[in-house]
Amino acid sequence: MLKFLKAAVVIAVCAASAYASAGEYPDHPIKLIISNAPGGGTDITGRIIADGLSKKLGQAVVVENHPGAAGLIGDNIAAKSPADGYSILYDSASFTVNPAIRKLSYDPVNDFIPLSLSVSQPNVLVVAANSPIKTLQDYIKAAKDRPGKITFGSAGIGTGQHMTGELFRDRAHVDILHVPYKAGAAVYVDLIGGQITSYFANLGSAMEYIRSGKLRALAVTSAQRNPRLPDVPTLEESGFPGFVVLEWAGAYVPKGTPPAVVDQLSKNFQEVVQDAKVKHALETAGVDVVGDSQADFKKFLDAEFKRWDSLAKENNIRAQ
């Protein structure tokens, strides 16, 4: 009986301690791991959110960029970080592509707990302004007339731009050639310079080139026409039903993070992106604010994992 009482006391003390710790969270700076290079779209939105989160929590949210291998480096660091709520991963669409085309040292499904899908934006198929290709129909015709000669760039194998191009190749039954780069900025240089034909760019980064007349937009990958490009058709309305692909970014914590901390952070991320100043800053950066629940984010991730795994297997897409 005495042993039982002692055990009960120990359990009660531990539970109280755990409750107190959860109630005090956070009591020191939080690390936001971004698996993309500084200055890119995911980095920009991540820093905007980090600033809003810092103000909301009353603790510094310090951004750490760990780019490389289409997000693998940052994701691996985050997966192996302490599960205490002080290490948060903020990553893009490549999070769901990588397991389809690469061997991973972590499990994106079982090693992470999704918090919230923060932002999204469509991709836009662009060509140089002086290209003879004026419309999507011209693009498809050129690809069929010259198999393997029409090229599309990307910021690397496994990125959202790469897989959007692969999906288009599959759906349109055209032989277009993928040309991977190390970063999106280099793609734009060669696209405008005529070294490559096209780019399934994310809308936020492409808009300045479209507005300045350096690039021509042929189609967007959203379900409806984008208000920023009202005259540009969607792929769905152009004969590709269901062709909806979004560039997006969301937040995760390592598996094992206390449930109370997970719930708090999920709500925090949802609330921060809806803050008037944060939302305005994100929209100015060219993205659409989402801020959905854990359940909705998990459902979204499941569909994305399945979509890219199926595409990779059907078309034998593997990272070298």
pLDDT in tens, 155-173: 888 888 999 999 999 999 9
Query: Which residues in the chain show pLDDT less than 50?
Result: 1-22
pTM here?
0.84
- Tens digits of residue pLDDT in 260-273: 999 999 999 999 99
Q: Residue 73 in contact with residue 67, Cβ under 8 Å?
A: yes
Q: Residue 214 in contact with residue 129, Cβ under 8 Å?
A: yes
Q: Residue 177 is which amino acid?
A: L
Q: Residue 116 is which amino acid?
A: S
Name, in order, each residue with C-beta under 8 angstroms of 112's C-beta and a sequence gap of 6 or more.
78, 79, 89, 252, 253, 254, 255
**Domains in the chain and their CATH numbers?**
28-120+247-315 (3.40.190.150), 121-220 (3.40.190.10)
Question: Using the 8-state DSSP alphabet, how is residue 226 labeled?
Answer: -
Q: Residue 172 in contact with residue 240, Cβ under 8 Å?
A: yes
Q: Residue 157 in contact with residue 98, Cβ under 8 Å?
A: no
Name the strand (E) or helix (H) holding 214.
none
Asked if residue 132 has a cis previous peptide bond (ω within 30° of 0), the answer is no
* pLDDT of amino acid 320: 64
